[in-house]
Structure formats: C-alpha cells, structure tokens
Structure 1
C-alpha cells in the first residue's frame, strides 16, 4: 500500500522568529537552518521575522511590542505555530502562547520532535525518550499547570496532600531511572562489541560531522551499503558499523556512521546519546565530514569541534573530508585536492575534497585511511602521510580557507 501524499496545504503553517542579542550568541539572520528544521519536523514555514534586543524580556522574551508584531504576522499568514531560534523559558513560552493564541516552540523542542520521529532502533528510541523526559522534567509548570490541585487521601503512589505536579514529577523521575538502566545494558553490549574489535586489531574509523553534511551517503559509497540517506536534517540517528576492505592496505577497517551534530544541540540529547557517541569517543580516527558547498561550513566545523570536546573526542586524530565538491561554485573550487587545515592554533589536520555522490576523491580518501592504518593514526596528525603543505590564511589559495 502506498503512503498518502501530503501536500503543502496540509502541513502546519509556521512563523519563524530569530532574535539578535548583539553578539552574545551566534545569530543566523537568514533563519535558513531553522526553516530546514521546521520542514524536517513536518511544518511549512510561511514567514520569517528577525529582531534585535539588548537583553531578554523576562515575560515575553521579545517584549510586548515585538510580541504584538508577531501576533499580527500570525493572523496575516494564518500561522498555526511560532518557532523561535533561541531557547525559551517555561514561563516565556506559556506567556507567548497566551499572547499569540497559537502553539509556541523553540529550537530545542523542534530538534527533540525530529529525533523522536526519526528514531528507528530500540536504542535510538530509548535515547530520545530519555532526552524528552529530562527536558520535560524542567517544564512541568507549563505542561501540567492545569492539573495543579491538591489530591486528598492516600492514592496508590502519592501521599496525603501531594499535588498532581509533584506526582507527575516523581513518575517522570522513575521513568528516567528505568530508561537509564536499560541504556546501561545497551552501553554494556556496545562495549563488548568494541572490545572484540579491539582484540581483532582492526582500525576503528567513525564518520562525524554537522547534520546533512553527507555522512551516510559517503558511508554507503565507501562500504557499498544501503544505509538510509536523504537531503534532510537528522536523516540518520542510529549508529551503523560495517567492515571496509582497503585494497591499498590489503586489510579491513571498521567504519561507523554516527548521528549528525547541529548548532545548539540540546544537552539532554548529547547526554542521552552517550552510548551512540561512544563510537566517536573510542575511534582510532575520525572522518570529519564537512558540507563544502554550505556558506556556513566554517561555523559548522567549529560546532562539531565543540561537541567533540564535550564528549571527550576532541583529541582523536581526524581527517577533514570536504564533501559535496560537485555542488561547489566554480569560483570556490580548490586549487588542490588535498592539503592541511588548522583546526585550532598549533593543530593542523589533513583535508581532502570529495564528492560522495559522484565518487570524486574517494580513491584518495581510501588511501588516506590506509595510510592511517599503517601509521596507527600518528602519521596523519604529524603530516607524514601527505606531501602537500599546510594551509595558512596568508597563502594565495582559493576562497575555501
């Protein structure tokens, strides 16, 4: 049976809002990434609004004047929800919904919704449930304010006089504990599998990168697999591991595809996905996949490095894989197919330009992995596996720095 076709007219209409607080945090004036997130969650962006403020308004986040402007746009475009690119407090969200008369979400809620819809494996669903429960536990005032009332007598769980919100909080805490216990078992199973790979002496390589950089497409191209890949955010949530045979080294390596990162990735998700992210933490080499055709690729690289630092994987040897070379503007094409990139002061890593879709540069990437296997990772960091010179901003190089 074929799935019903959903037309744009059937999708919830969303108004997108971004607020610039003057350099205190990254601000995307285009709201393009928020629009992609909204589309990935099944919403239809119908209008965008940006504003500048010196500080956050405690009640309405944007102040009453801008809130009135948002309300007018909601009515003009018949929007059914408003999505903010910045995190909202529970009271701010509640006040905005009352003021605007429609559902109000922020970036964190949107990402959690996408993860919940995309999780396929048992492990993935457990991790998303844990993240949502942890997030929800801080927002019971909003979700259950209408249930706040005294419960007389002694119930099955609550004691005399226990409020509904206290009961809900305790039930969520119990569920969080149960999910964590199940995830400990999953983590233990993954640990057993990793130890088996360690004993085999197989080099462990993990794909990491910003969401929609093309990791799964590259994974499929390298191992001839059919892992789900799509031009959308967070198409892959579950880690997949395959054996990659390298003719160049006449040996096999273990290659893992992992969940993508994104700016302002909710801490609850990072914590919940520890079992999955363990693949990156314990890898011998990371293939850091970058969307070379994205105008914000540099910010994306920095964000991935920040998340890697958070999970304790920042020092794992890396190869920067600039993917989607076929989509780069002609004026941005690099003069060389491989060079070095300074991730941070004093640390340069190899960089290769490839296209997972066309196969361009994949032989060089395979050779780089083979060289890494031969050098057990050290050769790549020190530059012994490459003959090209490190890039510096003073060099006469193409626009890709």
Structure 2
C-alpha cells in the first residue's frame, strides 16, 4: 500500500501521527492496520468519550458483554475487561512500529477512570492495575494533569510505567507536568528501573483553547478583540514548545538523566479537530509542525490533512515572542487567562466523567438484559 504524501511529509518533519480513536470494529475489520499502511499512523489515543461512542454503536461488543453477564461480572469489571482487551489488541497491532522506533512510537493509551481525577492515591492504584492487566510494553497510561494528578504522575513513572499526561491547557500546568516526569524518572532510577524503557507524552489540548477564548473575545466585540480570534490556541501550544525546549533540550536536570538513557517527554497536540467552521480544517496540524512532537487526530482531521494539508516544515520553533505577544494582547483586553484554563480543565474532566457515566449506565442495562435472557 502507498502512504499519503502529506502525512509522510508531516512524519518526516518530526511529527508522529497518532489516531485519536479506537473501537473493536476498527481492530477486527483491518481498518486500523490500513491506517498504519496508508496514513503513516504510528499510535492511538483513547479516552472515556471514545470508548463510550465505540460501545454504544453496533453490536461488536454484544457477545463479550453477554458472556461476562453470564459469569456474573459487574459493570466496572465488564468495562475494564472490554476496554483493556481492545487496547491490548491495538498494542499488538502496533508492535512493529514500537520496535522500529525503539519504543518512541507504536503506542496505545488508556485512561484511568475519570471519576478519580482528583484523587491521587486511587489514580495511582488504577494506573498500576491497568498496566498489569494490559501487560504490553507499548502501553501508555493516561492520567489527567489536575492538581491532584501531578503527584500521581510522578509516583506512577517512578514505578517504571509509561504515562500519557492528558488534559493540559496552560503552560504553567505543563511545567508542573514536566517536573513530575523528571521526579518520576529520578525515583525510577533510584529504584533500579531502566529509565530508557520509560516513555511519556504530555497531551496539550489545542482547539478548546480557541473555543473558550474566542467566546470571550466575541463578548468584548471590539476590532482589537475580533482580530485576535483563532490565534490563542496556536500561541499557547507554541509557548508550550518553548517550555519543552528549555527543560529537555538545554535543562541540566534532564541532561543528567539522559546520561542514564532517559527519553524526553514529547509534547502531544490533542484536540486538533477544528471546531470553528471559519478556520481552516487542518489549522491545528499544519501550524503545529515541529520536531519531537505528536499530533493525535480524529480521523476526519487526518483525512483533511491527507487531502489538502500543506506541510511547509517547522511552523513552531522561533515563534515564542510573537506567541507571547498574542497572549499579552488578550490579557490587556481584560480576559482572565487563569480562569480560562481552570474552566477548560473542569469542563474536560466533567465531559469525560459524563461519558463514563453514560457508558456505565448503558452497560448495566445490557448486563441486566443478558441476565434476564
């Protein structure tokens, strides 16, 4: 099969192409393997909303859920079994990409229960449990970057477990995430783990930043405010990349760990589907091209990039000053950026909690129906 030239160009520019979706149908039909062969896909991310959507469509899971019902499994056990089975199968599909990239890519993510996003101890225990259940070296455990999640991230990495830190919105929180990663690596090394086997990505959410800030710019309504619409998300991500460079390219703390084989925690651009129809549908891909990054895309965005995305090389490096200027202008208009990021984090956790609750309820109904049948 022939790879799409636009996505090849993106990969050659240093961006790993990951799919932001997973379902049993994708796995069993061969669709996931086809995306690897034709769209340069080298990883997959999942979240509670993705699993909720997958399990609510079609009948791909009916046989397994009915079997579990017959065994007397409860709702939590059923969902854990179904989702970890999918992730394990996806890990096996991506094993060649994992081996070819020395563990950098070929990664599949699974998230801890979003209901424990504000409980560090339970987050830690769930992360360890999921790591053992899936039992694949190319797994990433997703942990939300809430205040309570930060210490859990360090503790999980300290156990030698690879982590995808999710729901990052601000550079300030991202700096705490990078610190937690380094702390975790130091703990892991002290405990005798081979730190070269520990990998991590930091999922920086993109489009939602524009959605929230543009709403506030519209409310202000001045020409200066309107001029800034559609610019905050890219500026935020580019400032995050500056922070990444400071820690992992020139920082002495990571340099010392790198001597033991430690890998940098790559920035991952998440939420890259464009929500504003007035913006180009490839904006959060073509304008976030830089080395050592990941872009996890919904299939619709991936198709748009494959069809008409123009990859022109690095569109991030060196743009820190102009990105900071955009944020200075936004703040000067009276927009409370601290509040923006707090709202986005809370909404993100609530959205995943809501999807998980829907999944629990639907699965509970199916288990009860199977038991009666």
Question: Normalized against structure 2, the TM-score is what?
Answer: 0.29
Which has the larger share of strand? 1
Which protein has the larger Cα radius of gyration, Structure 1 or Structure 2? 1
Question: Normalized against structure 1, the TM-score is what?
Answer: 0.28
Q: Which of structures 1 and 2 has the larger relative contact order (alpha carbons within 8 angstroms, sep 6+)?
A: 2
